[in-house]
A and B are shown apart, each in its own frame.
Chain A
Amino acid sequence: MTETARSGNGVAVELTDLTRVYGPVRALDGLTLHIAPGELVALLGPSGCGKTTALRILAGLDAATSGSVSVAGKDLTGVPASKRDMGMVFQAYSLFPHMTVLENVAFGLKMRGQDRSARNGRATEMLELVGLSEHGNRYAHQLSGGQQQRVALARALAVQPSVLLLDEPLSALDAKVRAQLRDEIRRVQLEVGITTLFVTHDQEEALAVADRVGVMNQGRLEQIAAPAELYDNPTTRFVAEFVGLNNKMPATVTDGSAVVLGTPVPVIEGSLASGAGLAMVRPESLILTTDSTAHTNASVVSVNFLGSISRVYLDMSDGERLMAQVASAVAIRLAPGDRVGVTVEPNPVLVIAG
């Protein structure tokens, strides 16, 4: 968690042993999650993993089959959504079509009985925070998707909620706007210091903005850790496969280390204890050399240029396909059919049963 996030005036959120059953489906299966005051936690996972269900239960828009929700030490289980004091930004555009932008942002304050001048003042302040103070008199259909979500963020924050809930707010936007708004959400969250739960299926989004990222699978929290920790030390096969890209390479584990392509590398907790398995090696951990007489060599299949980096696809002599990520300045010298030497950096890897 960053210092800035800690210094906020947020409150602690506790989800304890939450279970949600829909007929035969267990959407949530004993989810326990603690969010520190001012922290931004992202829940990441594939569709149907239960992340949105968890957020909706916290918002009071859905009821848990069992388990409890508490905010700032107060049990909110059973409290209706309208009394929970939370701000929420939805995946779908949710601005009220018959109200202007200013009226939308001021709506929550109106519900709290604030007089017109006070709520308009606060709404204007919030619109300034998201850079839309010039658009107060417009209607939702006169705004772009990105602008609508920024207004939705301003509306959620205007009521000074104890917790901010973001339910895939960027998924309907194009890539460029998405990256801009993602950074803006983080800026605003740090500025306000509000405890935030961000649900997304986009790992880049989660890793970029969150203090901690929780990876969910089949209603359970597989792992929750700081982005770098999660990326470097995935403790389960699912997390390793879901977050980032991996090569599954044959490895032999003995005494807490594994040998991959002839190089000894440390193994992560949760790995196979001993014997032969598959090491999950990140593409950037593969080193390509022009020495084709090296211990292990491969043939270049293709090179995908991605800007400053490139992905090089390789065929090993045993027929296995690998993917390496190298600087484009290096990759530019490679062509399909070239022979290259392949080794791995001695970074910790997760080794799973083959």
Chain B
Amino acid sequence: MKRSLSFQAFRAVMLVLFAAFFALPLVAMLDFSTKVPATGERTWADWGLLVRDEALRQSIVTSLILAVLTAVVMVILLVPTMIWVRLRVPGASRLIEFLCLLPLAIPALVIVVGIKNVMAWVSYFVGDTPLALTLPYVILVLPFAYRSIDAALAAIDVRTLSEAARSLGASWLTVFARIVLPNIMTGVLSAATITVALVLGEFTFASLLNYLTMPVQLAAIYKVEARAAVAGALASILLVALLLLVLSYISRDRRTKKGSAA
């Protein structure tokens, strides 16, 4: 009993320490972005700049569209491929894993240099738009998205479930959409959330390829309007945190629904 109490106390202390470790910088950012240095008064003027500054507003919209586009392309590209490999060509799973994890081992700078010529072609076809960054961003998020989806697929017996559905008359499309996808939805949502978080914070690709995304614009503003830049950074962190909360709520909701039905 005594030991249990001391363990609980230790756990509580550790929890507070970790919470402080994560929360203090955020509180400092909020404090910095809302305080007038000369008078010490509170103001939301710099937060207002996120909406009022046309260039910053545009870069936020661009980053949000890029995040959604990257997540959509990643899901469309990766989910069917991974399911297909598991079902039909399991021998290729090592190769797919290697290819997907490769971007993790190559420095972003090297990828940018290597991809520059390809990006010239992409810009030639789709115009000089920052949305062309979707292509390198999909490559960037592959390792993280792969891990999430792979873990979800490993949690179910994909082969048996799909064979059961096939023997009951389901087409491959039905097997994918109605049997496998609903059972790996948490992993897919998790991959999409990680994708959004990564894209909203990505600086190297956008900066070196000369596109004005939110992090690039915030870095530029930081040189002249530090408080507005910090407000923008805090806003993007809060957005990603909110997304993660929504994801965990959805996952919990799915589990609760299954558990409570009787």
A interface list, Cβ under 8 A from B: 59-61, 80-84, 86-88, 90, 92-94, 96-98, 100, 107-108, 111-112, 137-139, 141-142, 152, 155-156, 159, 165
Contact = CB atoms under 8 A, between A and B. Distances in A.
Contacts of B161: 94, 96
Nearest to A61: B163
B164 A111 contact: no
Contacts of A88: 163-164, 167
B156 A97 contact: yes
Main secondary structure of the interface of B (DSSP, over half): helix
B160 A94 contact: yes
A335 to B, nearest CB: 51
Contact of A141 (B167, B182, B258): B258
Contacts of B166: 60-61, 80-82
Interface residues of B, number: 20
A108 B163 contact: no
Which of B164, B167, B169, B258 has most chain A Cβ within 10 Å? B167
27 contacts: A61-B166, A61-B167, A80-B166, A81-B163, A81-B166, A81-B167, A82-B167, A82-B169, A84-B167, A88-B167, A90-B163, A90-B164, A94-B163, A94-B164, A96-B179, A96-B183, A97-B258, A100-B261, A107-B168, A107-B170, A111-B168, A137-B262, A138-B261, A141-B258, A142-B261, A156-B168, A159-B168
Nearest to A152: B164
Nearest to B258: A139
Q: Which 3 A-B pairs have the closest CB atoms?
A: A108-B168, A111-B169, A94-B164
Nearest to A107: B168
Interface string B23-53: 0000000000000000000000000000000
B167 A59 contact: yes
Main secondary structure of the interface of A (DSSP, over half): mixed
Contacts of B167: 59-61, 81-82, 84, 86-88, 156, 165
B174 interface: yes
A91 to B, nearest CB: 8
A89 to B, nearest CB: 9
B54 interface: no
Contacts of A138: 261-262
B183 A98 contact: yes
B157 A94 contact: yes
Contacts of B258: 97-98, 139, 141
Contacts of A96: 161, 164-165, 179, 183
A82 B169 CA distance: 4
Contacts of B261: 100, 137-139, 142
A88 B168 CA distance: 8
B248 interface: no
Contacts of B164: 88, 90, 94, 96, 152, 155
A168 B161 CA distance: 16
Which of A59, A107, A138, A156 has most chain B Cβ within 10 Å? A107
A8 B111 CA distance: 67
A107 B165 contact: yes
Contacts of B169: 82-83, 108, 111-112, 159
Interface in B148-179: 156-157, 160-161, 163-171, 174, 179
Contact of A82 (B171, B183, B262): B171
